[in-house]
Structure 1
Amino acid sequence: MNSWLMVAALVIIAALAGYAAYLHWLLYRRNKPADKPVSTSAGSNAKVGVVDPAVPGVQRVAIKRSLYLLADALLDDKLTHTEGCLRICAIAASLEDQELIRREYGVLFRVAEATAHIPILDAWQALSREDKQRFDRERKAVEAKYNDAVIEAAQRIKAHYSL
């Protein structure tokens, strides 16, 4: 009886592994044309958004999708400009041409750097009401200062990384 269960378990595992391999192959085939980098040499006219060829294709597509969705959420006021800038900059750090992105979308990095000291999550919850209000005023002042430039950068990200 035990050997029968062992054989049944192995058959199920093999079937699931085969199905997983098939799905992986479909994803690979679907994303293969998009995986070709525009340029991989540092001295050439590389476009913003070229990712390291060592990064798997599925991950490159996920990075581009994340940048697009964050820019879209920022434009739809689903995120504050501060949160959107922090998230976009964190994701952009995984791209090969970080310096080009920093030049192209520098305002996002300026907002992120200007507000990086503001506590988040549990540290935010631990703040006094006065400290929260002070940080909120500071955040809103930075957002107001860079409002138009952040919106313009988010629109360019959406256009560049369109789905």
Structure 2
Amino acid sequence: MQPTDWLVLSGLLLIFLLAGYAAWLWYQVWRNRQRQAESLQARNQRLAGDIQLLSRALLDGQLPPIEGAIRLKVLLDNYNGPRPADLDIEVLEILYSATAHIPTHQAWKDLPLAERRQHEHRMAELEQQHREALLRTAEMLRHGLG
């Protein structure tokens, strides 16, 4: 064999090795995308279940309306799956926005009593004002998103 034949064979071997490596890399990309899609689907199923659970708790009176609205809004913001076409979540957004400034957890406990009472009064007004719309939304969510 001539030296040029060896160079051509070496070049072809290198091309085949690089093509195989490229194919392997594309397979890895495809597999990662599949895993991400499965993970997203599992996440959405978990969120949909949590949304149904919270909706039931809200409708059964086990969850305060404002807290339920806030939690549902946050879960729906993170949910990327299908939704009913007639699902109206505007009330959740209104209640979330109207209460976003209110401290939570330890900051709530640290508030002076008078300030806590003001916030509680405002939350009671919001609950009364938006009760029907919130219950309608919770009823729709209770039956699932899919």
Fold equivalence (TM over 0.5):
yes
Q: Which has the larger radius of gyration?
A: 2
Give the structure 2 partner of residue 71 of structure 1. 55
Instruction: Note the alpha carbon deviations across 1:76-100, whole angstroms, 9 max, x for none.
Output: 11111110011111111112379x8
Alpha carbons 2:44, 2:81 under 8 Å: kept = no
Of the candidates 70, 91, 101, which is equivalent to residue 75 of structure 2? 91
Q: Equivalences for 1:50-61 in 2 at 5 Å?
A: 53=37, 55-61=39-45
Evaluate the alpha carbon distance shift between residue 161 and residue 97 of structure 1 in structure 2; reply closer, same or farther with a 3 A threshold. closer
Q: Which protein is richer in helix relative to its size?
A: 2
What's the offset of the Cα at 1:55? 4.5
Number of residue pairs the alignment of both structures matches: 110
- Give the TM-score normalised by structure 2: 0.67
Alignment RMSD: 2.6
CA distance in 1 between counterparts of 2:90 and 2:67 reads 16
Unaligned runs of 5+ in 2: 1-35
Of the candidates 123, 127, 136, which is equivalent to residue 120 of structure 2? 136
Unaligned runs of 5+ in 1: 1-51
Alpha carbons 1:63, 1:91 under 8 Å: kept = yes
Alpha carbons 2:48, 2:79 under 8 Å: kept = no
What's the offset of the Cα at 1:54? 6.6
1:113 alignment partner AA: S
Alignment of 1:120 onto 2:90: no
Q: Percent identity?
A: 22
CA distance in 2 between counterparts of 1:144 and 1:121 reads 24
Higher relative contact order (CA 8 A, sep 6+): 2
- Give the TM-score normalised by structure 1: 0.60
